[in-house]
Amino acid sequence: MKVVYRRCAGLDIHKDSLSACIRMRGKGGKETEVEEQVFSTCTQDLIRLRKWLRDRKVKQVAMESTGVYWIPVWNILETGSLELTLVNPATVHALQGKKTDRIDAARIAEYLQYGLLSGSFVPPKPVRQLREVTRMRVHVQRDRNRVICRIGRLLETVNIKLSSVASDIVGKSGMAMLRALAEGQNRPELLADRALGHLRSKIPALVLALEGRPDEHFRWMLRGLLDKLDALDKEVATIDLELRQRLSDNDDLLERLATIPGVDRVVAQAVLAEVGDLSAFPDAAHLASWAGLCPGNAESAGKRFSGRTRKGNRYLRRILTQSAWAASHRKDSFLQSFYFRIAHRRGNKKALIALAHRILLIMWKIIREGDVYREKGGNFFDRVRPLNTARKLTRRLESIGFTVALEQKPMTPVPAAMAVPPEVCSKCNRWRLTKCIHHNPKPKRTNKKRSLKSTV
């Protein structure tokens, strides 16, 4: 097997220690020399590790992505002139009965020396820091949702059915009623009178729902939960302000991303924090594969098995799935029609993942090439295949006892502005993209033997 790197190192990282192995190929095809050492993960020892690698003129270093323990090692080593590679532990899995820290480090170094490792995507430090902020917002929002659920459960224990009438118990109207309950107000008429907006039309139902049996214990519990909710709201507002300041240079891009149905500024910020400037992804297909939003490959003996998606980036997959669910409820939109077109054949869950995949492809086009989203309308597929739609509707009418006679209107010429450019394929034209994102098809090869026979 061909040696790619004459000098390289492999690191097996744990919480308190790491094992390092250097492989050095001798000149003239001599045997490979191996040097091993164990370091602690304290800062001073990591600096000593960096000096140890430099003294031995090592340039390439590979390490496993072990939990969060690889991050401090990466931060120390990336400040030098080393070329770091972060690998998935599944790609360097040890055989049963042959696993120790020393063997693992040697195996990683050997795989790296022969060029058998593909590195994971590690964005630059500013993007990693932005990731931490957006992911912190996710966890704070989860804590906030957990407190809201506890408030709803507490109301049910004293037979207050606020959630049966108001869809959001912590909205403006709901918070006004909850604070009045915590202060000791018991009369349902006065509590219901705090409703605002369209909820005032439900005051009679609110009076019935707010008649419960609150006591002093309930008020003490409610005050504590409302204080927690206020603190979490302030924390979310602080994080949003920090994100707005860090992404102030990308306001135009965030606005263009927010024009996609189901995508708002929070979603756009999270996507930018996870994917960065997309320099690591040559095309949209690679990005969708990394995010875990494309079908998996499982084929053997010519038979295709499960196409289950891979795990991918769970934060990106989560936010895009939520955006897809919101886009599926946007009336008279192309993305909604795309969702229902797949849902009636493959089910809601697969249609949701397919819609998230489509949203990510649109985002790639907007971020990478500065394009804008153009809404095609909810009847796009009907306009593309009008005869298919006519046949389906005809069958439905005939199934309930109607006789249908169809007459087609004369075709109107296609405007020059809507004509398909020669450099855009049919799929990209249906997506309303001005530039083709697919590879140019390879020219067909002419069969020389057949052409010779024809000439004879």
**Structural domain boundaries of the chain?**
7-113, 126-246, 253-369
Q: What is the pLDDT of residue 452?
A: 37
pTM exceeds 0.75, yes or no: yes
- pLDDT over 50 (residue 124): yes
Q: What is the pLDDT of residue 431?
A: 61
Q: What is the pLDDT of residue 94?
A: 73
pLDDT (tens digit per residue) in 354-364: 999 999 999 99
Three-class SS of the chain:
CCCCCCEEEEEEECCCEEEEEEEEECHHHCCEEEEEEEEECCHHHHHHHHHHHHHCCCCEEEEECCCCCHHHHHHHHCCCCCEEEEECHHHHCCCCCCCCHHHHHHHHHHHHHCCCCCCCCCCCHHHHHHHHHHHHHHHHHHHHHHHHHHHHHHHHHCCCCHHHCCCCCCCHHHHHHHHHHHHCCCCHHHHHCCCCHHHHHHHHHHHHHCCCCCCHHHHHHHHHHHHHHHHHHHHHHHHHHHHHHHCHHHHHHHHHHCCCCCCCHHHHHHHHHHHCCCCCCCCHHHHHHHHCCCCCCCEECCEECCCCCCCCCHHHHHHHHHHHHHHCCCCCCHHHHHHHHHHHHHCHHHHHHHHHHHHHHHHHHHHHHCCCCCCCCCCHHHHHCHHHHHHHHHHHHHHCCCCCCCCCCCCCCCCHHHCCCCCCCHHHHHCCCCCCCCCCCCCCCCCHHHHHHHHC
Q: What is the pLDDT of residue 118?
A: 86
CATH 3.40.50.1110 fits 7-113, yes or no: no
pLDDT (tens digit per residue) in 193-226: 999 999 999 999 999 999 999 999 999 999 999 9
pLDDT (tens digit per residue) in 153-190: 999 999 999 999 999 999 999 999 999 999 999 899 99
pLDDT (tens digit per residue) in 26-44: 666 677 889 999 999 999 9
- pLDDT over 80 (residue 439): no
Q: How confident is the model at residue 308 (pLDDT cuts 50, 70, 90)?
A: confident
Q: What is the pLDDT of residue 418?
A: 52
- pLDDT over 60 (residue 441): no
Q: With CA atoms as reference, report the closest residue to 63 among 75, 79, 52, 81.
A: 75
